[in-house]
Amino acid sequence: MDIVNNNCSGNKQNGSSQNAPSGLNYASYLQLDKLLDCMRPVTAQTPEGMVHDEHLFITVHQVYEIWFKQLLHEINSIMDFFAASFVDESKMLLIISRMNRINLILKILIDQFAIMETMTPQDFADFRPFLQSASGFQSFQFRLIENKLGIKSANRIRYNQQSYCEAITDEDRLREVKQAEGEPTLIELVDRWLSRTPGIADRDFNFFTAYSVQVGRYLMNLKYEAEIITDDTARVTAIASYTKIAESFDSILKTDTHNECVKRGDRRLSHTALIGGILIWSYRESPRFHLPYQLLALLMEFDSLLIKWRHSHAQMVQKMLGNKIGTGGSSGYYYLRATASDRYKVFLDFATLPTFVLPREYIPILSRIMRRRLSVSVNSDD
Amino acid sequence: MACPISNEPDAHEDRSNPSRLNYTSYLQLNKLLDCVTLATADAEGGPIHDEHMFITIHQVYEIWFKQIIHELDSIMKFFRNDNVDERNMLLIISRFNRINMITKILVEQISIIETMTPLDFANFRPFLQSASGFQSYQFRLIENKVGIKAENRITYNKHSYMDGITDSEIYKKVDAAEKADTLIELVDGWLSRTPGLKDDDFNFFTYYSIGVERYLCDLEYEAEALEDHAEKDIALASFNKIKESFMTILHKDKHDDCVRRGIRRLSHASLIGGVFIWSYREEPRFHMPYQLMSLFMEFDTLFIKWRHSHAQMVQKMLGNKIGSGGSSGYYYLRATASDRYKVFLDLCMLPTFVLPREYIPKLSQRMRTRLSVCLTES
């Protein structure tokens, strides 16, 4: 008999009666009986009994997986918004708050390693043999997250000469993970959204053209300032620096040079999307670009946090295992450390935007029509 | 399909290699991740997005509570022996430190639920009926095992916390934890057995009392010697306060009176034990006990931070609204973020009783030897 239910006057939606067996309570709502019953330490079956720290080991991993599920829930909802042919701008606040939530969760996931690190390598060695070949490499939710974001199969590093797909043995899960790889990923959806940024090259404003002109001016002035330096060494350095800058701008002014970068794998965003990004950054103080700018910042922060997670994970594993060769002939630590690299960064191109944003005095002035367009949000086709 | 390790028929879903454990089967992920059922799943207008996070975060808290209980139980087991084997001190300390690290994450996690707006919460709150964190039995288990006293608890909606627990088996467990030896009681016993308190080798209490008298005598003298009247009055008033406070530790009946009034919990002997350890914490044998006492105080602080942060978050979600039954969840929670719920409060008072260095009694040679080695048998 639920005393709390009995004495509570009805704000209840369903008007449950006093002794309602179907009345929700904390434990039933959270399915605590089932949830907490998932703790099955392998060493509990041994004659010596459970190794104390195995409980922690399981807890930490289960908590990570529950948070991964939550991350997927948020990522899916954000991708749904971006999958529409026009992102309803009134949804931007929601998109940003969910992206922010994802990043906050990631921060906690990084801080959590400190708890696992309270286990000593010797204590881990006491139960590790019982884990057989169970390994985090088999986490299908982590792969789902990676694939939905847009980590490219070609960029992945193999472990134990296995592709990550081979480690997922449940057919349904494998199908889900592979499907995510094949469908439009978050980076692709964001690419399309960026390519539709108003003002890239439309009748009201042709940012690309104006930008190209200004880049020309900027480079010309840079070159001139370098060439008039009297000191020989300083001049040579300045000219070399100018040449590098000119080369880099070339890769954004010329579509084929950009596409070369993409083919080589140095860049991912389409040319138009990249211009869209530069456009947003250049005029981020226009009201309509406030939230888009925040979103780009959050996407970059996401990349940073995920790589910090990978790095912290690798450090922790090194403490637990050293550089030991694991089953199959590879070191878990070396594999994990290798994944904490730019190959696994999805929004890397955003980090390069500062390279292409001109100094303030060169940024093209907005036309009046454009300035007005960027001061209001539109809910339908623009 | 027989699994060599476990007797569970469904312990593994690895179709390729049925007898081997894999990540998913080891963590029971298929079952674990199947525990999210939205109350708004069939609502008109569809399920509310943020309810998923609401469930997730509470489940994560409960899994961590289970972990804390696992660590607490093991620590209390060590303390249940008449003499705590000092070789276990490293383990005890590392496990208690683990509890505190977990609690730090539990405090930080509140920022995640704060990404939900009160308006979004209002969309699904009605579907929760009267489910409430007040009903969390694991939280009560932790509180009771550590030693929160029933009479210090604040009632909510005029309910005692036990009213929130409806499962009779669990009720018995929580009730038993309240009545069994609690951590604070076990620690009390351990502190009161600190070597050197009152035995033939060294009678700390006697020497300490002498040290206190000397200290108070000097304090009074310095106060009296002040020429400026106003300064003298202040100094004498201060001296009297200090003297009063020392009286409550020098005279057992005065201490017991404090306990009776509910402002102290530790026994007189264990309080003296605490002062002893603090006074000679640099002796090797007292290193670990000193660290442990710091961890106990940190635990109290972290838990009260959790209660406070929790209350702040609830205020944002609900305001000071009166909930069903006539009370405000926020006011209740805020009231629990108080010293009534601090278990190791007495340890915070130790600085009051530890004498300035020059007054701390010198250890005898024998005592110094005793405090430089650990005994590994009683």
Q: In this predicted model, what pLDDT tens digit does every residue of A223-273 receive, in sequence order? A: 999 999 999 999 999 999 999 999 999 999 999 999 999 999 899 999 999
Q: Is the per-residue pLDDT at A42 higher than 90?
A: yes
Q: Which of A381, A183, A198, A349 is nearest to A283 (CA)?
A: A198
Is some CB atom of chain B closer than 8 A to the CB atom of A58? yes
Is A8 in contact with B98 (Cβ distance < 8 A)? no
Is some CB atom of chain B closer than 8 A to the CB atom of A8? yes
Tens-digit pLDDT profile for residues B156-190: 888 899 998 989 999 999 999 999 999 999 999 99
What one-letter code names the amino acid at B168? S
CA-based nearest residue in chain A for residue B52:
A70
CA-based nearest residue in chain B for residue A35:
B32
Poorest-pLDDT segment among A24-38, A132-146, B316-330? B316-330
Is some CB atom of chain B closer than 8 A to the CB atom of A83? no
Higher pLDDT, B4 or B108: B108
Asked whether the beta carbons of A24 and B21 are under 8 A apart, the reply is no
Is A70 in contact with B56 (Cβ distance < 8 A)? yes
Considering only CB atoms, B32 lies closest to which of A5, A35, A140, namely: A35
CA gap B227, B238 in Å, rounded: 16
Q: Which of B1, B5, B321 to mutate to test the interface with A (most CBs of A within 10 A)?
A: B5
Q: Which chain A residues are closer than 8 Å to B17 by Cβ?
A: 169
Q: What is the per-residue burial (b if ≥16 Cβ within 10 Å, else e) of A80-110?
A: ebbeeeebebebbebbbbbbbbbbbbbbbbb
Cβ neighbour number for residue B222 with a 10 Å cutoff: 11
Is A29 in contact with B55 (Cβ distance < 8 A)? yes
Poorest-pLDDT segment among A158-162, A354-358, B295-299? A158-162
Q: Is the per-residue pLDDT at A13 higher than 50?
A: no
Q: Which of B26, B58, B69, B327 to mutate to test the interface with A (most CBs of A within 10 A)?
A: B26
Q: Is the per-residue pLDDT at A15 higher than 80?
A: no
Give the mean pLDDT of A35-55.
Answer: 96
Residue B54 belongs to what H/E stretch? helix B51-79
Is some CB atom of chain B closer than 8 A to the CB atom of A380? no
Question: How close, in Å, is residue B93 to chain A by CA atoms?
Answer: 11
Q: Which of B113, B212, B136 is nearest to A70 (CA)?
A: B113
Tens-digit pLDDT profile for residues B213-268: 999 999 999 999 999 999 999 999 999 999 999 999 999 999 999 999 989 999 99
Give the mean pLDDT of A269-278.
Answer: 96
Whether the ipTM is more than 0.85: the answer is yes
Q: Which of A30, A37, A95, A142 to mutate to test the interface with B (most CBs of B within 10 A)?
A: A30
Is some CB atom of chain B closer than 8 A to the CB atom of A22? no
Q: What is the per-residue burial (b if ≥16 Cβ within 10 Å, else e) of B331-355?
A: bbbbebbeeebbbbbbbebbeebbb
Would you place residue A339 in the very low, low, confident or very high pLDDT band (cuts 50, 70, 90)? very high
Asked whether the beta carbons of A57 and A42 are under 8 A apart, the reply is no
Q: Is the per-residue pLDDT at B8 higher than 80?
A: no
Give the best-scoring range by mean pLDDT among A146-150, A195-199, A378-382. A146-150
What one-letter code names the amino acid at A139? S
Q: Which chain A residues are closer than 8 Å to B129 by Cβ?
A: 5, 12-14, 16, 23-24
Residues 6+ apart with CB under 8 A from A35: B32, B35, B59, B62, B63
CA gap B318, A357 in Å, rounded: 45
Considering only CB atoms, A108 lies closest to which of B21, B109, B135, namely: B109
Cβ neighbour number for residue B140 with a 10 Å cutoff: 25
**Taking all residues of chain B, what is their mean pLDDT, rounded to a whole number?**
90
Give the mean pLDDT of A291-311.
Answer: 97
CA gap B82, B103 in Å, rounded: 29
Q: Which of B60, B128, B129 to mutate to test the interface with A (most CBs of A within 10 A)?
A: B129
Is some CB atom of chain B closer than 8 A to the CB atom of A31? yes
CA-based nearest residue in chain B for residue A140:
B24
CA gap B203, B201 in Å, rounded: 7
CA-CA distances (angstroms) from residue B261 to B192, B349, B352? Answer: 21, 16, 19
**Taking all residues of chain A, what is their mean pLDDT, rounded to a whole number?**
90
Q: Is the per-residue pLDDT at A18 higher than 60?
A: no
Would you place residue B286 in the very low, low, confident or very high pLDDT band (cuts 50, 70, 90)? very high
Poorest-pLDDT segment among A197-201, B133-137, B239-243? A197-201
CA gap A20, A14 in Å, rounded: 11
User: Can you read off the two tokens belonging to residue B149?
Assistant: 């006293």
User: Can you read off the two tokens belonging to residue A284?
Assistant: 């981020």
Give the mean pLDDT of B126-138.
Answer: 92
Counting Cβ atoms within 10 Å, is residue B229 exposed (0-12), middle (13-18) or buried (19+)? exposed
Q: Which of B44, B67, B93 to mutate to test the interface with A (most CBs of A within 10 A)?
A: B67
Is A37 in contact with B31 (Cβ distance < 8 A)? yes
Dihedral, CA atoms, A312, A318, A320, A324, nearest 10 degrees?
150
DSSP 8-state code for residue B320: T
Question: How close, in Å, is residue A372 to chain B by CA atoms?
Answer: 32
Considering only CB atoms, A31 lies closest to which of B21, B37, B105, namely: B37
CA-based nearest residue in chain B for residue A139:
B23
Is B64 in contact with A63 (Cβ distance < 8 A)? yes
Is some CB atom of chain B closer than 8 A to the CB atom of A130? yes
Is some CB atom of chain B closer than 8 A to the CB atom of A12? yes
Instruction: Compute the Cα dihedral for B136, B140, B143, B148 and give only its sign.
Output: positive
CA-based nearest residue in chain B for residue A63:
B60
Q: Is the per-residue pLDDT at A6 higher than 50?
A: no
pLDDT at B181: 95
CA-based nearest residue in chain B for residue A33:
B35
Q: Which chain A residues are closer than 8 Å to B112 by Cβ?
A: 101, 104-105, 108
Is B131 in contact with A24 (Cβ distance < 8 A)? yes
Give the mean pLDDT of B80-105.
Answer: 93
Q: Is the per-residue pLDDT at B9 higher than 80?
A: no
Chains A, B: CB pairs < 8 Å: 211
Tens-digit pLDDT profile for residues B314-325: 999 988 777 555
CA-based nearest residue in chain A for residue B327:
A8
Would you place residue A86 in the very low, low, confident or very high pLDDT band (cuts 50, 70, 90)? confident
Considering only CB atoms, B28 lies closest to which of A38, A73, A169, namely: A38
Q: Is the per-residue pLDDT at B20 higher than 50?
A: yes
Q: Which chain B residues are closer than 8 Å to A56 by Cβ?
A: 67, 70, 98
Q: Which chain A residues are closer than 8 Å to B24 by Cβ?
A: 138, 140, 170, 173
Q: Which of B360, B347, B340 is nearest to B279 (CA)?
A: B360
Is A135 in contact with B112 (Cβ distance < 8 A)? no
User: Can you read off the two tokens belonging to residue B77?
Assistant: 């087991």
Q: Which chain B residues are closer than 8 Å to A176 by Cβ?
A: none
CA gap A212, A219 in Å, rounded: 11
Spacing of C-alpha B373 from chain mean position: 30
Q: Is the per-residue pLDDT at B198 higher than 80?
A: no
Q: Is the per-residue pLDDT at B357 higher than 70?
A: yes
Is B31 in contact with A66 (Cβ distance < 8 A)? no
Asked whether the beta carbons of A119 and A127 are under 8 A apart, the reply is no
Would you place residue A329 in the very low, low, confident or very high pLDDT band (cuts 50, 70, 90)? low
Q: Is the per-residue pLDDT at A4 higher than 60?
A: no
pLDDT at B326: 61
Poorest-pLDDT segment among A36-45, A369-378, B319-328? B319-328
